[in-house]
Chains A and B, each alone.
Chain A
Amino acid sequence: AQSVAQPEDQVNVAEGNPLTVKCTYSVSGNPYLFWYVQYPNRGLQFLLKYITGDNLVKGSYGFEAEFNKSQTSFHLKKPSALVSDSALYFCAVRAYNTDKLIFGTGTRLQVFP
């Protein structure tokens, strides 16, 4: 079965510290991977994507993600967290041979001053 897992419901980090939000996937074929962010009472916003090429993908607001094929992971990272990064983060993968996205259950990131 094709799926994406976000093993942490919540991640807490102090402002200025590096952050990681984890995502692992299970999909046939080459994965198309995405990260979206949702601020309170808003829709999801696209952050970044991996389709092919360099395993380190850079996206909006200073976020980056590292694709690791052997570990089937696509973790979201940022070198220095901001309080304004506090939000709900979703990992998504394209279901094989379709045009549909499978979303994870989301990870709430809380950055403390």
Chain B
Amino acid sequence: DAGITQSPRHKVTETGTPVTLRCHQTENHRYMYWYRQDPGHGLRLIHYSYGVKDTDKGEVSDGYSVSRSKTEDFLLTLESATSSQTSVYFCAISERLVVDTGELFFGEGSRLTVL
């Protein structure tokens, strides 16, 4: 299994509070992604990173921000959590771009509940 650790694995929080999810990898892969998984929607891309301090928005980025100050860490922050952000969040890494036939390796997910 690829060395990807997500923390926390489970979190319950209240509306309006800030939340940070961490993705840590030991593979030294350049590319990192944050997805959310919701029933009926599959996986949707929130933000992604092509390297240290190089990030960009995915299809559902509103309400989320990211940071990548080190190759191994990719942080996802919800500045003010809302109930619509209740979801399972997955971090993924890749050694190569998808266009270069790179495969994604996923972490085990972080289940976030916003009350």
Q: Which residues B30-47 have CB closer than 8 A to chain A?
A: 35, 40-45
Do A101 and B99 form a contact, CB below 8 Å, given A43-B90, A44-B90, A106-B42?
no
Majority secondary structure of chain B interface residues (helix, strand, loop or mixed): mixed
Asked whether B101 lies within 8 Å of A103 as measured between CB atoms, the reply is no
Give which listed residue, B40, B98, B106, contacts A32 with CB less than 8 A.
Answer: B98
Asked whether A44 lies within 8 Å of B108 as measured between CB atoms, the reply is no
Q: How many of A's residues come within 8 Å of B, CB to CB?
A: 20
Q: Give the residues in chain A near B108, CB-CB below 8 Å.
A: 41-43
Kindly report which residue of chain A lies nearest to residue B107, judged by CB atoms: A43
Q: How many of B's residues come within 8 Å of A, CB to CB?
A: 24
Do A103 and B90 form a contact, CB below 8 Å, given A32-B98, A45-B106?
no
Q: Give the residues in chain B near A100, CB-CB below 8 Å.
A: 45, 48, 58-59, 98
Q: Which residues A72-113 have CB closer than 8 A to chain B?
A: 90, 94, 99-101, 103-106
Q: Give the residues in chain B near A105, CB-CB below 8 Å.
A: 40-42
Q: In the assembled complex, how far is the CB of residue A92 from the closest CB belonging to chain B, in whole angstroms?
A: 8
Alpha-carbon gap, A45 to B99, bound state (A): 18
Asked whether A44 lies within 8 Å of B104 as measured between CB atoms, the reply is yes
Kindly report which residue of chain A lies nearest to residue B103, judged by CB atoms: A46
Q: Which residues B20-75 have CB closer than 8 A to chain A?
A: 35, 40-45, 48, 58-59
Do A90 and B98 form a contact, CB below 8 Å, given A43-B107, A43-B108?
no
Q: In the assembled complex, how far is the CB of residue A54 from the closest CB belonging to chain B, in whole angstroms?
A: 15
Q: Give the residues in chain A near B105, CB-CB below 8 Å.
A: 46
Q: Give the residues in chain A near B115, CB-CB below 8 Å.
A: none
Known contacts A42-B109, A44-B43, A46-B104; can you find 12 more A-B pairs with CB under 8 A?
A: A32-B99, A36-B106, A43-B92, A44-B92, A90-B42, A100-B45, A100-B48, A103-B35, A103-B42, A103-B43, A103-B44, A106-B42
